[in-house]
DNA sequence: AAAGATTGAAGGTTCAATCTTA
DNA sequence: TAAGATTGAACCTTCAATCTTT
C-alpha cells in the first residue's frame, strides 16, 4: 500500500483537535497554579484523597482511580511528599497508605473553587447548544476499540 | 463570591474532554514511534524543515511555525542534534540555520505515511457526519478571547 | 512466583537568568 | 540596546529494571 498524505482539510481538523486541548488545559492549569501553587497533577491526587478516601487512600487504589501506571504515581507522590503535601506510610497488607497533609488540605481548599470557575470559563461557557453532547459522543467513539 | 463546585454533569463533560485528547494523542504518538522511532515533536520539527524550507530553516522561523517558545525549541534541537537527525550552523545574519540530516530525511520518509494513516484511524474515520465541523467550531470558540 | 512499589535514564516543557552579537 | 539563542532547575511522563513482601 501507498498511504496518501493528509489533505489540507484533514490537516485542518487534526490541527484544530490538537490545539483545542492544549489551549484549554494550559489555561486551566495556569489558573489553578496562580491561585494555589498546585499543578494539575497535584490537584488531581489531592482531590481523590479527599473525595474517595477521607484524606487517605491505598496507593494502588489511587493509581486505579487516576488511570495512572504505578511508576507515574510513585514519582508524583515522591515529589508531593517532598513538598509536604502528603505522607506515605506502610499499610497492613503490604501496600502503601497515602495520607493528605495539612498543607495539602489547605491548598486543595484554595484550588477547588478556582478549578470549577476555570473549567466553566475556559470550556463550559463556550460550548454551543449541543456541543456538550457532541463531546460526550466523540469521547465514546474515540475511546472505542 | 462562593463559586459552586462542578456538577456531576459538568464533571462528566470535563472528564470526557480531557480523556478524548489524551487517548488520541498517545495512540498516534505510539504508532509513529513504533514505525519510525520518532517522537511526535521530532516529526513536527522534521516535517517543517522539509515542507517550509527545503530541508533547511532559520531557527527563529521554525519556532514561529511550530508556535513554540525559543527555549523549548532550543532544548528540542539539542536532543535531535545529539541523535543525528539535524545540524545547526551559523546563519549570516546572526541567527542559526537548522538543516535536516540524512538520517532525519530517512526517518521522516518512514514516519509520514504512518502519521497520515494513524490520524485517519484514531480520529478522522471515527467522526460522525457533522463532527468534523463541530471540532472546527469548537476550536474557534475555545481559542477566542 | 506474584503483587505492590521504587528507581534511573531519557525525553519533554516551562521559567528565569544568561550569553552573544548585530 | 535588542534580538536570537542557550542553559539550568524544576516538574512531568514512560520504560525497563529492580526491590520487597506475601
Give the DSSP H or E segment for B9: helix B8-36
Is the predicted pLDDT of residue B139 greater than 70, yes or no?
yes
Burial B25-61 (b: 16+ CB within 10 A, else e): beebbebbbebbebbbbbbbbbbbbbeebebbbebee
What SS3 class is residue B3? Answer: coil
A6–B17 C-beta distance less than 8 A? no
- Which chain A residues have a beta carbon less than 8 Å from that of B117? 3
Alpha-carbon distance A120 to B69, whole Å?
28
* Contact call for residues B30 and B117 (beta carbons, < 8 A): no
Contacts of A43 (CB under 8 A, 6+ apart): A32, A36, A108, A111, A115
The CA distance from B98 to the nearest CA of chain A, in Å, is 24
Question: Distance between CA B86 and CA B65 in Å, rounded?
Answer: 17
Record the cell numbers describing residue A69, joined without a space: 501506571
Protein-proximal nucleotides of chain C (any atom < 7 Å from a CB)? 4-9, 11-17, 21-22
Q: Would you tell me how many other CB atoms lie within 10 Å of the CB of residue B124?
A: 18
Burial of B74 (0-12, 13-18, 19+ CB in 10 A): middle
CB-to-strand C under 7 Å, chain A 75-104: 75, 77-78, 88, 91, 94-96
| Distance in Å, residue A94 CA to nucleotide C15 C1' | 40
- pLDDT surpasses 70 at A74: yes
A135 contacts in chain B (CB < 8 Å): 13, 16-17, 20, 138
Would you call A136 and B16 a contact, using CB atoms and an 8 Å cutoff?
A: yes
* Residue B4: pLDDT over 90: no
Residue B1 pLDDT exceeds 90: no
Closest CA to A114 of B143, B40, B101, B4: B4
C-alpha A106: how far from its chain's center? 19
B124/A5 touch (CB, cutoff 8 Å), yes or no: no
Contacts of B3 in chain A (CB under 8 A): 113-114, 116-117
Task: Write the DSSP string, B62-117.
Answer: HHHHHT--HHHHHHHHHHHHHTTSEEEEE-TTSSEEEEE-HHHHHHHHHHHHHHHH
Average of per-residue pLDDT values in chain A: 94
Question: Which residues touch B87 (CB under 8 Å, ≥6 apart)?
Answer: B81, B98, B99, B101
Please judge whether B136 and A4 are an interchain contact, meaning their C-beta atoms are less than 8 angstroms apart: no
The residue among B15 and A93 whose pLDDT is bigger is B15
List residues of chain A with CB under 8 Å from any CB of chain B.
2-6, 10, 12-14, 16-21, 23-25, 112-117, 119-120, 122-124, 126-128, 131-132, 134-139, 141-144
**pLDDT in the model for residue B2:** 57
In this predicted model, what pLDDT tens digit does every residue of B39-71 receive, in sequence order? Answer: 999 999 999 999 999 999 999 999 999 999 999
Please give the pLDDT value at position A4: 82
pTM of the entire structure? 0.91
Confidence of residue A2 (pLDDT cuts 50, 70, 90): low
| pLDDT, tens digit (0-9, with 9 covering 90-100), for A24-34 | 999 999 999 99
User: A93 versus B22: which is more confidently predicted?
Assistant: B22
Instruction: Please answer whether residues A26 and A68 qualify as being in contact, where contact means their C-beta atoms are separated by less than 8 angstroms.
Output: no
The DSSP line for A9-44 is HHHHHHHHHHHHHHHHHHHHHHHHHHHHS--HHHHH
Q: Any idea what DSSP says for residue B38?
A: -
In chain A, which residues have their Cβ closer than 8 Å to the Cβ of B113? 2-3, 5
Say what the pLDDT of residue A93 is.
85
Give residue A144's pLDDT.
Answer: 87
Q: pLDDT per residue over B87-130, tens digit each?
A: 999 988 889 999 999 999 999 999 999 999 999 999 999 999 89
User: Using an 8 Å Cβ cutoff, are A86 and A98 in contact?
Assistant: yes
Amino acid at each position: 500500500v501507498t498511504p496518501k498524505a493528509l489533505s489540507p482539510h484533514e490537516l485542518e481538523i487534526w490541527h484544530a483537535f490538537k490545539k483545542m486541548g492544549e489551549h484549554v488545559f494550559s489555561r486551566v492549569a495556569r489558573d489553578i497554579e496562580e491561585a494555589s501553587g498546585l499543578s494539575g497533577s497535584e490537584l488531581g491526587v489531592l482531590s481523590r484523597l479527599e473525595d474517595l478516601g477521607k484524606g487517605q487512600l491505598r496507593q494502588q487504589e489511587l493509581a486505579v482511580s487516576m488511570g495512572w501506571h504505578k511508576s507515574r504515581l510513585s514519582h508524583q507522590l515522591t515529589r508531593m511528599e517532598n513538598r509536604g503535601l502528603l505522607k506515605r506510610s506502610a499499610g497492613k497488607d503490604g501496600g502503601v497508605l497515602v495520607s493528605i497533609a495539612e498543607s495539602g488540605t489547605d491548598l486543595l481548599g484554595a484550588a477547588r473553587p478556582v478549578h470549577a470557575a476555570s473549567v466553566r470559563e475556559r470550556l463550559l461557557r463556550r460550548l454551543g447548544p449541543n456541543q456538550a453532547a457532541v463531546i460526550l459522543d466523540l469521547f465514546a467513539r474515540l475511546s472505542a476499540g
